[in-house]
Amino acid sequence: MSDRGFQITYTTLPGTDPGCGGTFNNPEGFITSPSWPDAYSESKQCVYIIRQSSSDHINLRFTNLELESDGGCSLTYIEIKDGATETAPLINKYCNSSIPTSITSSQNALWIKFKSDASATRSSFRALYQVACGGMLSGKGVIKTPLYPNAYFREKTCEWVITQPIGDAVLINFDSFNIQPGAACSSNYVEVRDGPSADSTLISKYCGPEVPPPAQSTQRALYVKFTTDSSEYNQGFSASFSTIIQGCGDQVDGQGGFYLCAVCRVFVTCTECECCVQGFSSVCMVCALCAGFSSVRMVCALCAGFSSVRMV
């Protein structure tokens, strides 16, 4: 006679021991080992759950890490999972003193376990968590500063690379903008580049309270960087991005001429060759009339029947 036995499914929850684990819901903060900054040498297991709003991701960066190595990484270690439970996918497991690269979750929670063995002579860590920003994007959508419309973090850098299909370009419209102003926008700014990296051609750099003009790439990728220092902070920005056809439309300063452009998806839908004056998005004028606005920056909108872009 034989029995079937049993199976138990278990999960580890944050403990109630002060300094050992817990649930963290603030947009930024630190998690530390018990007794930090002192080393911890007792046998202990602590679980930390970091959770943000459903639309956010989490960035985790270790500032200090000192774990005693063991061959099997089973006695003293830190384990990080991409989600709110122990059964979430494993991101990585650490059991030495090398500071790892920062981690960004794919969802709105991280599960972190710190295990210390009594045989360890040193065991400690400290990590900063923040609402994540930046990333690789495509199609259409919205990018914004962390915590928008609330004030953004100090000493933060976010980088977005927006990539569209071959033959298309990227159009970005700033819906709101308020970045701490400064000389030459050197410390707090938004930078837009024509291409996929920080080495691509600079389109412009923005700071202050004024909403920047729309920007578009000449290729399939656009790079956007937001950076802040430790000084004052403001509301930040929100910008929408979409796809346009490469080589279609442009931003020009009228100099007694008018624009002819290809059929494209830019700003307004016009039945004839028209221009949209920046700041008056609902106002369209026949291109010939744009010559009368020589001091106004204009954006050429949908112009039917022309296969190339040229000034006449």
The 10s digit of each residue's pLDDT in 251-309 is 433 333 333 333 233 333 333 333 433 333 333 333 333 333 333 333 343 333 333 33
Identical fold between 22-131 and 135-245: yes
Q: What is the pTM of this model?
A: 0.61
Highest mean pLDDT pick, 64-73, 115-124, 207-216:
207-216
Cα–Cα dist 111/82, whole Å: 7
Q: Which sequence spans correspond to the domains of the chain?
A: 22-131, 135-245, 251-311
b/e 57-67 (16+ beta carbons within 10 angstroms → b): bbbbebeebbb
The tokens for 250 are 């442009």
Q: Choose between 1 and 118: higher pLDDT.
A: 118
The domain defined by 135-245 folds into Jelly Rolls (2.60.120)
CATH 2.60.120.290 fits 22-131, yes or no: yes
Q: Which residues contact 306 (CB under 8 A, 6 or more apart)?
A: 260, 261, 262, 263, 273
The tokens for 304 are 């039917």
Instruction: List phi, psi (to 5°) of 292.
Output: -80, 0
What secondary structure letter does DSSP report for 151?
A: P
The tokens for 31 are 């998690």
